[in-house]
Amino acid sequence: MKKRIFNNWNRTAIAVAATIALGLTARADDSDVKVFWKDSLRLETEDGNNKFRLGGRIHWENAFFGDDEFGGKPLEDGDVFRRSRIYLSGQVQERYDFKMQYDFAGGDADFKDVYFGIKDVPVFGNLRVGQFKEPLSLEELNSSNSNSTIERANVNRLVPSRSAGIMAYNNFADTRITVAAGLFRGADDSYGNYRGDGYAATARLSGLPYLNEDASQLMHLGIGYSYRDDDTATYKLSSDHSLAPSWKHSISDVDNTGVLGLEAALKLGSFSVQSELIQVDVDAPKGGDLDGYYLQAGYVLTGESRSYDQKLGAFKGVSPSSKFLEDGGIGAWEAVLRWSNLDFSDLAPNQEIDTWTIGVNWYLNKNIRAMLNYSNAELDDDNVDVIATRFQFAF
């Protein structure tokens, strides 16, 4: 184990050194380099063609359960560093971008995003090569730094996360339409959601049929699909919290799998609502249809609104208009309510879980957030209550 950690730190050190070398090369070629802070440490050449950013996140989560067991499995209060990441990202010679992100939660180093790309390629638009998120699911594409609840809805267990592959993406109609499509090798999610062993073709189309002038009001619609040729696949049934019990279902002799995702969201100033439906068709002797959905509503009590990234087609989070303890500021406060469902009944009887979540988020500034969630999960007439907290620092 020590040797593995040492090797991982070596890889990280090499990545840091390589990126710094890029920055030094940029300085040699383009004269002065600006060093400044904008929610993270940034370096940029005078002409803006070369950029470098150093950032990271710490998510410390706690869970307090109202019962001793759920679904026949024991429950125990606990805490976990859900995410502990550092990343390097940037742009070289205006046209080339890259990102290297590592997660040290659990005591070792795991690759998250490790990719490079080329912008404005004829026919394709933009290209990305490496390991990154497949273009599927609004909530998955939203950063964990920005999601309004501590954990994504349980239906997120059905969608792939980061995979190695190549993707083309672009936007049209003044960035009101986004398109992305890629070929990937399996799925790599270290937290045990969907995991496959084959190849996949994944695509997503999203758009804003309604958008007012200052983007304070918008309607988002999206559709995504992934065709996967896994021989085996593993899916996890659980409630909406990572420390709650889970049930894994491994499927063998898989012919192919189709994943369909439908998305809808509406933002009206401080109020927002979003929903997704995910359906997975596993073509295997012991496969079947797996599906789930969620409906989530949120309101920013202090008047701000969730921002939206039109190039990605996903939300970015809340930026407080005042900072806590600065000129009497109180930060931003947000209330959220969500209902989610996940149904694995085709794999085993009584494998359907429903979860209510009520949450309050306090954004002290752009980098620090405290979250409190209460959830009630029901599985086969068995209920469990959980109070969860997260203390988050992200830059």
pLDDT at 241: 86
Helix-strand-coil percent breakdown of the chain, rounded to 5? 10, 60, 30
- Local confidence pLDDT in tens for the 395 residues of the chain: 444 444 444 454 444 544 454 544 444 454 689 999 998 999 999 999 999 999 999 999 999 999 999 999 999 999 999 999 999 999 999 999 999 999 999 888 888 999 999 999 999 999 999 999 999 999 999 999 999 999 999 999 999 999 999 999 999 999 999 999 999 987 655 554 577 788 999 999 999 999 999 999 999 999 999 999 999 989 999 999 888 899 999 999 999 999 999 999 999 999 999 999 999 999 999 999 999 999 999 999 999 999 999 999 999 999 999 999 999 999 999 999 999 999 999 999 999 999 999 999 999 999 999 999 999 999 998 999 999 999 999 99
pLDDT at 260: 98
pLDDT at 2: 40
Q: What single-letter amino acid sits at 367?
A: N
pLDDT at 190: 56
Nearest-CA neighbor of 220 among 179, 274, 146, 258?
Answer: 274
- Within 8 A by CB and 6+ apart from 160, the residues are 134, 136, 184, 187, 189, 194, 196, 200, 202, 226, 228, 259
Could you give the domains of the chain? 51-394 (2.40.160.10)
State both tokens at 6: 């040492």
pLDDT at 39: 87
pTM of the model: 0.88
Q: Is 186 left (phi over 0), alpha (psi -120 to 50) or beta?
A: left
